[in-house]
Amino acid sequence: MEKKGAILILSGPSGCGKSTLLKKVYEYINDYTFSISTTTREPRAGEQHGVDYFFVSRSEFEEDIKNGQFLEWAEVHGNYYGTSLKPIKKALAEGKLVIFDIDVQGHEIVRKKLDKVVTSVFITTPTLNELENRLNNRNTDTKDVIEKRIENAKYEIKSFQKYDYFIENDNLEEASMQLLSIANIARIKATLFEKEKLIKEWLED
């Protein structure tokens, strides 16, 4: 059967473990691509332009918005973040599973635009305290930035019901196996669209 492109969206408060879970899942899947976002936030130590993000200035980002470059974009924790349309179209045409790590605003937009091929999962920590511990232990952000992200987490979590799935990332092994199952379901869901057409044809016969 011809492979169908599919989108898997991960959202969840900063520090819940999205990147950590994805690294584990990548060991078990193929034919996927991670959607590299564009952002105006400063790179963290070790982050590379074109690998983790495309790091740009606010004026460059605003120019890209004007030129309609983004499938979606949003202001998150005081910075712009956006998903470029062109690489996503290409990856979907190639039948890849395209993985997005985007916030709740971005999820709503992509869901509206590409519902048929989107599967989404909201990830959290068991408690807000644990989220704070993880952000502190990660040691990548200043105290002010961490405070802002904790505050925003309280708003973000209100959107969890808009997602197809929910993972509490407590035990890393268990949570990564759950995410792996969801990634496999994402591919199957994207084939349903074609099947709908097929069944319509049968019924018209």
Ligand X SMILES: Nc1ncnc2c1ncn2[C@@H]1O[C@H](COP(=O)(O)OP(=O)(O)OP(=O)(O)O)[C@@H](O)[C@H]1O
Ligand Y SMILES: Nc1nc2c(ncn2[C@@H]2O[C@H](COP(=O)(O)O)[C@@H](O)[C@H]2O)c(=O)[nH]1
Burial 163-172 (b: 16+ CB within 10 A, else e): bbbebebeee
Stretches 81-89, 117-125, 130-138, 174-182: which one binds ligand Y (CB under 6 A)? 81-89
Contact 82, 38 (CB under 8 A): yes
Residues numbered 46 to 75 that lie near ligand Y (CB under 6 A) are 72, 74
What CA–CA distances, in Å, run from 204 to 30, 134, 195, 197? 37, 56, 14, 11
Phi-psi label, residue 79: left if phi above 0, alpha if psi -120 to 50, beta otherwise: beta
* Residue 163 binds to ligand Y (criterion: CB under 6 A): no
Residues found near ligand X in the complex (CB under 6 A):
12, 14-20, 134, 137-138, 169, 172
User: 8 CB contacts (<8 Å, ≥6 apart)?
Assistant: 97, 98, 99, 100, 119, 120, 121, 182, 183, 186
Stretches 25-33, 79-87, 112-120, 176-184: which one binds ligand Y (CB under 6 A)? 79-87
Choose the contact partner of 82 out of ligand Y, ligand X, none; CB within 5 to 8 A by kind: ligand Y
Minimum distance between the CB of residue 182 and ligand Y, rounded to whole angstroms? 16
Query: Nearer to ligand X by C-beta: 10 or 117?
Result: 10
* Residue 84 binds to ligand Y (criterion: CB under 6 A): no
Footprint of ligand Y (CB under 6 A): 11, 14, 37, 41, 72, 74, 76-77, 81-83, 101-103, 105-106
